[in-house]
Amino acid sequence: DSGVTQTPKHLITATGQRVTLRCSPRSGDLSVYWYQQSLDQGLQFLIQYYNGEERAKGNILERFSAQQFPDLHSELNLSSLELGDSALYFCASSANTGIVSDTQYFGPGTRLTVL
Amino acid sequence: AQTVTQSQPEMSVQEAETVTLSCTYDTSESDYYLFWYKQPPSRQMILVIRQEAYKQQNATENRFSVNFQKAAKSFSLKISDSQLGDAAMYFCAYRRDRQGGKLIFGQGTELSVKP
């Protein structure tokens, strides 16, 4: 158990809908990262938050947005869903203290299926 | 842009034998970090081993070790005394930023272990 929790584990929805994925980082970790794992794109970085502020953006679609709350949990919002958004969405957290051994620990993922 | 390449989509090893998974990467940075993550059928992403580019000594974690060749931009993972529980997808990953930041993943190598 990495200490990172994600809810829900599975999500099945229809095209055009909107969903919210939730992530709670490990205790004390300030950074949260979101990744998407799909068959055709592999594992791709979406976005990073550090202590409530957006730190870096990757291949995140405009239909997707995220935020990190004062209690450090994060939510990834996916809207106007398309079939191609079906994927496994991971959240990872790290301490980001500047120590070189900073490591990202991954949650169990949320499996999104868009029908 | 940095890229990570795993040229072996699938590998197979006999139980108790040794197997090496290959990874190459492309970067113009001199300071960076390399990782191997394991993804078993549960889909959880588990950190196997980490290597800092400024360290010449190859990292070792029990039965797992790496062969880091900085000049060749090569980072292979050696698994000794393979066990059935080692069967999984293995991802090589690169991180540029000393203080954290996104991971760039390779395409993965599916390792099967034969009893």
Q: Is the pLDDT of residue B98 over 80?
A: no
CA distances from A112 to A75, A109, B33, B100 (A): 14, 9, 30, 27
Q: For A58, which residue in chain B has the nearest alpha carbon?
A: B102
Answer for the pair B89, B99: CB distance below 8 angstroms, yes or no. no
Residues B24 and B112 sit within 8 Å (Cβ to Cβ): no
Instruction: For an interface test with A, give the residue of B52, B92, B95, B99 to mutate (most A CBs within 10 A).
Output: B99
pLDDT of A39? 86
Q: Cα separation of A86 and A82, whole Å?
A: 8
Three-class SS of residue B84?
helix
Question: Is A25 within 8 Å of chain B by CB?
Answer: no
Q: How far apart are CA A31 and CA B35, in angstroms?
A: 18
Mean pLDDT of chain A: 92
Reported as a single tens digit per residue, the pLDDT across B37-95 is 999 999 999 999 999 888 889 999 999 999 999 999 999 999 999 999 999 999 999 99
| CA R_g for chain B | 14
Confidence class of residue B29 from pLDDT cuts 50, 70 and 90?
confident
Return the number of other C-beta atoms located less than 10 Å from residue A75's C-beta. Answer: 16
Q: Give the per-residue pLDDT at A34.
A: 97
- Quote the minimal CA–CA distance from A15 to chain B in Å: 25
| Amino acid type, A44 | Q
Copy the structure tokens of residue B54.
């400024």
| Mean pLDDT in residue range A31-58 | 92
Are β-strands B33-39 and B88-95 bridged in parallel, bridged antiparallel, or unpaired?
A: antiparallel
**Interchain CB contact of A2 with B (< 8 Å):** yes
Nearest chain A residue to B99 by CA: give it: A98
Pairing relationship of beta strands B109-114 and B10-14 according to DSSP bridges? parallel
> Mapping DSSP to helix (H, G, I), strand (E, B) and coil, where does residue B86 land?
helix
Q: What Cα–Cα distance (Å) separates residue A81 from each residue in A41, A78, A97, A115, B73?
A: 17, 7, 36, 9, 39
Mutation for testing the B interface, residue in A5, A104, A110 having most B CBs under 10 Å: A104
Token reading at B25: 């990467």
Instruction: State the Cα–Cα distance between residues B25 and B40, nearest whole angstrom.
Output: 23
CA pair distance B95, A41, nearest whole angstrom: 19
Q: Which tokens hold the place of A114? A: 């868009």
